[in-house]
Amino acid sequence: MLDRSTIWPYDEQGEPREFYYSRYGSPTVAEAEARLGELERGEALLFPSGSGATTALVLSLLEPGDTIALAEGCYFGTGVTFQALSKWGLHYVEFDQTGPPPDGVQLIWLEAPSNPYGTMPDLAAAAAHPAPVVVDSTVATPVHLRPLEHGADYALHSVTKYLAGHDDVLMGAVVGANVDELRTFRTRTGIVAAPDPAWLLLRGLKTLELRVRRQTETATELAARLRAHPKVEAVRYAGLGGLLSFDVADGAAARRVEVSTRLIVNATSLGGVTSVMESRHRWEGDRVPTGLLRLSAGLEDVDALWADLVQALDFS
Ligand code: PLP
């Protein structure tokens, strides 16, 4: 149920009930957290965006002078967030997440699978490291992976993507075995999710499994067909989830392809019911090949998507 109140009355003795002021907790947010917690087999906390969840988690766990080991080639914005926090004395080093994390770090940040490279982290190697482990599981979703069952301390989501699933919610989540300290930090710093997006998350979760299974089938099929296409130089797909990337000859070719699709929308983000594709070079610069296109498969018919890609690739 959607409850937009910010306050709830005290009980007959004048004592606070479970909910009293929405910065501390609110029923719709709590219900969505309970549902996500069931899916991830942990305790979930919602935040106003995925990046907000990242910021809250890092600030609550670390101290000035600490270093994060960040999976190289992961979501570009995570490094940008860490950089923004560097003036408070937080550092990060990048490492290849398919192997063990480096020594001397206080937090390990993995991504399953990485966006846009599609690498999967070595979760066992990370769990053997003394530092706490965060897995950004935005692309895998609990349909494909539950990081806590593989020794991770926290799973993190941009809820904006698959969990909400309709490109109309900005929200983030952290799930852990015990999130009491993070909950207190969230209340004190006010990085709190609102009821309306939480309600949309509840609606999205009802179809999560159906959507993600279909998006995975579609992405698997498109990856196979793209691999056989003469204009495509490389395809990266982890074999799970709806996200893949592929390379055409160069930046000019990528631009021609992305503006030539009719069904696939030329837009950023991923995880929604509508397929979107974009050149990542515009955002990430030299960190990615100029010809790299990132495609998020939606729920459209796979043959219609393929026909759209084929006609667009003709322009490359
Ligand atoms: N993590 C991943 C893997 C993402 O793709 C994104 C957004 O693109 C984020 C985190 C950040 O989430 P938000 O945009 O909800 O702040």
Distance 10 CA to ligand 1 centre (A): 38
Distance 75 CA to ligand 1 centre (A): 7
Residue 50 near ligand 1, beta carbon < 6 Å? yes
User: Could you give the CA distance from residue 289 to residue 113 in angstroms, rounded to a whole number?
Assistant: 19
CB 138 within 8 A of CB 75: yes
User: Could you give the CA distance from residue 69 to residue 90 in angstroms, rounded to a whole number?
Assistant: 11
State the pLDDT at residue 258. Answer: 98
Enter the tokens of residue 156: 């993190």
Widest Cα–Cα separation across the chain: 75
**Half-sphere CA count of 141, side-chain side, radius 13 A:** 26
**Half-sphere CA count of 77, side-chain side, radius 13 A:** 13
Cα four-point dihedral sign 22, 25, 27, 33: positive
Enter the tokens of residue 56: 């809250």
DSSP state of 107: E
Distance 51 CA to ligand 1 centre (A): 6
**Measuring CA to CA, which residue among 315, 283, 311, 304 is closest to residue 116?**
283
Local confidence pLDDT in tens for the 316 residues of the chain = 999 999 999 999 999 999 999 999 999 999 999 999 999 999 999 999 999 999 999 999 999 999 999 999 999 999 999 999 999 999 999 999 999 999 999 999 999 999 999 999 999 999 999 999 999 999 999 999 999 999 999 999 999 999 999 999 999 999 999 999 999 999 999 999 999 999 999 999 999 999 999 999 999 999 999 999 999 999 999 999 999 999 999 999 999 999 999 999 999 999 999 999 999 999 999 999 999 999 999 999 999 999 999 999 999 8
HEC-encoded secondary structure of 245-312: EEECCCHHHHHHHHCCCCCCEECCCCCCCCCEEEECHHHHHHHCCCCEEEEECCCCCHHHHHHHHHHH
Residue 288 near ligand 1, beta carbon < 6 Å? no
Which residue lies with its CA nearest to atom 8 of ligand 1? 269
User: Could you give the CA distance from residue 106 to residue 110 in angstroms, rounded to a whole number?
Assistant: 13
Ligand 1 nearest atom to the CA of residue 172, by list position: 15
CB-neighbour burial class of residue 221 (10 A; exposed 0-12, middle 13-18, buried 19+): middle
| Probe residue for ligand 1, chosen from 115, 144, 268, 295 as the CB with the greatest number of ligand atoms within 8 Å | 115
Distance 17 CA to ligand 1 centre (A): 34
Report the amino acid identity of residue 92: Y
Which residue lies with its CA nearest to atom 7 of ligand 1? 158
User: Could you give the CA distance from residue 235 to residue 69 in angstroms, rounded to a whole number?
Assistant: 27
Instruction: Give the 3-state secondary structure of residue 16.
Output: coil
Distance 149 CA to ligand 1 centre (A): 22
Any residues with CB less than 8 A from the CB of 276 and at least 6 apart, and which?
264, 265, 266, 267, 268, 269, 270, 295, 296, 298
pTM of the model as a whole: 0.98
Enter the tokens of residue 28: 């719709």
